Amino acid sequence: MKRFFFGIISALFLISCGSVKKHNENISKLHSVDDLRNDVDKLYHQLKKHHPKLYQYTSQEIMEFKFDSLKQSIRTPMDSRDFYKKVAPVLTSVRQGHVSIRPLGKRFKRKERKALKEKKFEFYDLDFQYIDGKLIVERTIGKDSSFVGAEVVSIAGESASELLEVYKTRFASDGYNVTLYDRFVSKGFKSFYVRDKGFLDSLKVTFKANDSVFSKTFKRVPKKEKKRTDSAKVKNDSIKKVKRKKLTKQERDSIKIAAKKRKKYNRKHGYIPRTKSYTRNFSFIGNDSTVAYMKIRGFSNGNYKKFYEESFKKIDSAKSKYFILDLRDNGGGRIAEIERLYSYLTDKEFQFITESEVNSRIPILKSIMSNTTPTGLKILSGILSPILIVQNVLRIKKKDGKLYYKFKYVKPEVPNPLNFKGKVYVLINGNSFSASSIISTNLQATKRATFVGEETGGAYNGTVAGFYKLYQLPNSKLITRIGLMQIEAPYKQEPDGFGVKPDIEIVPTIKDIQQQKDPELEWILNDIDTTN
Name the domain boundary from 51, 83, 102.
102
pLDDT single digits (tens) 109-132: 889 888 889 999 999 999 999 999
Residue 442 forms beta bridges with which residues? Answer: none
Instruction: Please tell me the predicted confidence (pLDDT) of residue 287.
Output: 85
pLDDT higher than threshold 60 for residue 12: no
Q: What is the mean pLDDT of residues 493-516?
A: 96
Whether residues 81 and 212 share a domain: the answer is no
Per the CB < 8 A criterion, the answer to whether 430 and 331 are in contact is: no
In a domain, 451, yes or no: yes
Q: For 188-247, where are the alpha helices, taking DSSP H only?
A: 189-197, 230-235
Band (241; pLDDT cuts 50, 70, 90): low
Whether residues 119 and 182 share a domain: the answer is yes
pLDDT higher than threshold 50 for residue 83: yes
Whether residues 86 and 117 share a domain: the answer is no
In a domain, 300, yes or no: yes
In a domain, 395, yes or no: no
Whether residues 327 and 431 share a domain: the answer is yes
Band (206; pLDDT cuts 50, 70, 90): very high
Instruction: Please tell me the predicted confidence (pLDDT) of residue 2.
Output: 39
- Give how many domains the chain has, as a whole number: 3
Instruction: Please tell me the predicted confidence (pLDDT) of residue 391.
Output: 87
Name the domain boundary from 189, 222, 255.
222
In a domain, 472, yes or no: no
In a domain, 243, yes or no: no
pLDDT, the chain, mean: 91
Q: Looking at per-residue confidence, does 145 or 66 come out higher?
A: 66
Q: What is the mean pLDDT of residues 453-482?
A: 96
Instruction: Please tell me the predicted confidence (pLDDT) of residue 249.
Output: 82
CATH number for the domain spanning 272: value is 3.90.226.10
Whether residues 73 and 207 share a domain: the answer is no
pLDDT higher than threshold 50 for residue 8: no
Q: What is the mean pLDDT of residues 491-509?
A: 97
Instruction: Please tell me the predicted confidence (pLDDT) of residue 445.
Output: 98
d(C-alpha 43, C-alpha 92), whole Å: 13
Q: Looking at per-residue confidence, does 268 or 3 come out higher?
A: 268
In a domain, 126, yes or no: yes
pLDDT higher than threshold 80 for residue 409: yes
A 10 A CB-CB count for 277 gives 14
Per the CB < 8 A criterion, the answer to whether 354 and 402 are in contact is: no
Whether residues 23 and 172 share a domain: the answer is no
Instruction: Report the chain's C-alpha Rg in angstroms.
Output: 26
SS3 of residue 527 by DSSP: helix
Cis ω for the linkage preceding 490 (within 30 of 0):
no
Whether residues 98 and 134 share a domain: the answer is no
CATH number for the domain spanning 160: value is 2.30.42.10
pLDDT higher than threshold 90 for residue 228: no
Whether residues 96 and 55 share a domain: the answer is yes
Instruction: Please tell me the predicted confidence (pLDDT) of residue 243.
Output: 65
Band (25; pLDDT cuts 50, 70, 90): confident
Whether residues 168 and 275 share a domain: the answer is no
pLDDT higher than threshold 50 for residue 57: yes
Per the CB < 8 A criterion, the answer to whether 499 and 179 are in contact is: yes
Q: For 248-374, where are the alpha helices, taking DSSP H only?
A: 249-269, 304-318, 335-343, 363-368
pLDDT higher than threshold 70 for residue 64: yes
Instruction: Please tell me the predicted confidence (pLDDT) of residue 289.
Output: 94
pLDDT higher than threshold 50 for residue 6: no
Q: What is the mean pLDDT of residues 149-160?
A: 96
Whether residues 35 and 123 share a domain: the answer is no
User: What are the phi and psi torsion angles at 142 (to 5°)?
Assistant: 105, -165
Q: Which of 229-243, 278-292, 299-313, 490-504 has the lowest mean pLDDT?
A: 229-243
Q: Looking at per-residue confidence, does 227 or 128 come out higher?
A: 128
In a domain, 326, yes or no: yes
Whether residues 30 and 172 share a domain: the answer is no
Whether residues 154 and 181 share a domain: the answer is yes
In a domain, 477, yes or no: no
pLDDT higher than threshold 90 for residue 302: no
Band (18; pLDDT cuts 50, 70, 90): low
Name the domain boundary from 50, 67, 102.
102
pLDDT higher than threshold 70 for residue 231: no
Q: Which domain holds residue 91?
A: 18-102
User: What are the phi and psi torsion angles at 183 (to 5°)?
Assistant: -70, -50
Q: Which of 286-290, 303-307, 423-427 has the lowest mean pLDDT?
A: 286-290
pLDDT higher than threshold 60 for residue 3: no
